[in-house]
Amino acid sequence: MNNLAAVIPILIVTLSAIAAMLAEAFREPGERIPIGLGLIGLVGAILASAFLWDRQATAFGVVQADNFALFVNIVLCVVGILTILLSDGVIEREELPAGEYYALTLFGVAGMMLMGSATDLLVIFLALEVFSLSVYVLTGLRRSSAAGAEASFKYFLLGAFSSAFFLYGIAFTFAVTGSTRLAQVGPAIAAQAMNPSILLLLAVGLLMVGFAFKVSAVPFHMWTPDAYQGAPTVVTGFMSTAVKAAAFAAFVRVFLSAFEPLSTSWIPLLWWIALATMILGAVVGVVQSNVKRMLAYSSIAHAGYILVGLIAGGQNGKAAVLFYLATYAVTNLGAFGVVAVLATRDRAHDELADFTGLWHRRPMLAGLMTVFLLSLGGFPPTAGFIAKWYVFSAAVQADEYALAIVGVLTSVVSVFYYLRIVVMMYMTDKPAEAPATPRLHPAATTAFALAALVVFYLGVLPTGLLDLAGDSVITIF
């Protein structure tokens, strides 16, 4: 029963994905059965994760339902719920196959939950492939779009390339330590930490490349702008948040537990990666005229900020990573959601000029977009401000003053392209031929209300989530 308990949240989401896929075969036009099944499965997984809190269940020695994994499960399920709510209405408008869309989204969430819970490198790789295949297909699900097909193909090729690096890293780790289980890899690495072999250092480097690709870290970010722009906007929001949360969860578990004895070898390399990621994401985002590409470079910059927390390490650094992932997921998904609902069947309306005078046409959407952009920029009293403050404080406590300073400066630079959209919405007149703005669907309204509430709540009263993040990282062995 203990083995079964550890994977119950993942099983619930998987079964809901299968049920949504089967229900599509019997669905009458206009029925929303897959949506209901998806929401039931994700809410059930949240309740199961809450029930397992502090129970430390383990499945077959390779899946650990500790508080760290359960925290990530809840974040991923919240992202899944918001994605499904934002998708209702968008799916019909863009003529996407509803059954496949919801099933793939749920299978992707299940794979991500497994990745955050896995304590074996091979299981992490399998989970990586499960959710990666789902996201590849979702990226190109709009079959009539040449840009979507190109984005999916680029994402698939580069993703397969990075998976090969990751798999070679696992193979070299096994060759050096004789195991792929993190509980056995850690002591074996600690015994060699004073004089690591070339093969062990190569294993660390290859694993880092695999993770860096998934989190969009420089120089492995090249897929991000094209994939984000070409994919359906709701899919872009999903992949920019859920994929990053799952990848960073596994990144933290692997490098801050099993490979922590070699931190003096991998931290200098990760330091430069974080520095380059923050700078490139902030600077290149300034020159973007497409909002989805701008948010893609914003996502790259935020990956750099999260890497700062990973480099800081310790309980504060780990907790900062979790809190940042939670706040970033809700905020960024809300921003992409606004872009998604502004689109029409004929045009994406994702250029900067399409936001001209939005306050005069759709004041509620303009207000929501402002809230999410200010949170991404780190303005108080939003959740983004607390998240950045927490990450940079962890860096200062770890004596990483240079990274903290660069993080603050690049945050200031990124404020330019966030506020540029705000200026277009409020301080420019409504164009003579304003693009049509579709009616906001009730489900999307619910998603926006929840996201905005979370952004303000965590910006004013973050202590509860901060304490949960701090408690959850203690359980990482």
C-beta separation of 289 from 225 below 8 A: no
pLDDT reading at 347 higher than 80: no
Number of domains in the chain: 1
Q: What does the pLDDT read at residue 389?
A: 94
pLDDT, tens digit, 9 for 90 and up, residues 404-446: 999 999 999 999 989 999 998 988 776 656 555 667 788 889 9
Q: Are 377 and 418 in contact (CB under 8 A)?
A: yes
The whole domain housing 183 covers 2-473
Eight-state DSSP code of residue 59: E
Spatial neighbors of 292 by CB under 8 A, at least 6 apart, are 228, 229, 233, 236, 336, 339, 348, 350
DSSP 3-state percent helix, strand, coil across the chain (nearest 5): 80, 0, 20
Beta-bridge partner residues of 59: 63
pLDDT digits (tens, 9 = 90+) for 80-126: 999 999 988 788 777 788 888 999 999 999 999 999 999 999 999 99
Query: What is the rounded CA–CA span in Å between residue 346 and residue 71?
Result: 40
Percent with pLDDT over 70 in the chain? 96
Percent of the chain residues past pLDDT 90, beyond the cut: 62
Cα distance between residue 328 and residue 64, in whole Å:
25
Stretch (H or E) spanning 64: strand 63-65
Tokens of 347: 């045009």
> What is the SS3 assignment for 259?
coil
How many other CB atoms are found less than 10 A from the CB of residue 314?
A: 14
Query: 12-43 in b/e burial notation, b at 16+ Cβ within 10 A?
Result: bbbebbebbbebbeeeeeeeebbbbbbbebbb
Please give the Cα distance from 151 to 346 (Å, whole number): 19
| pTM (2 d.p.) | 0.94
Name which of 133, 17, 9 is nearest 73 in CA terms: 9
Condensed to tens digits (0 to 9), the pLDDT of residues 253-285 reads: 999 888 989 988 899 999 999 999 999 999 999
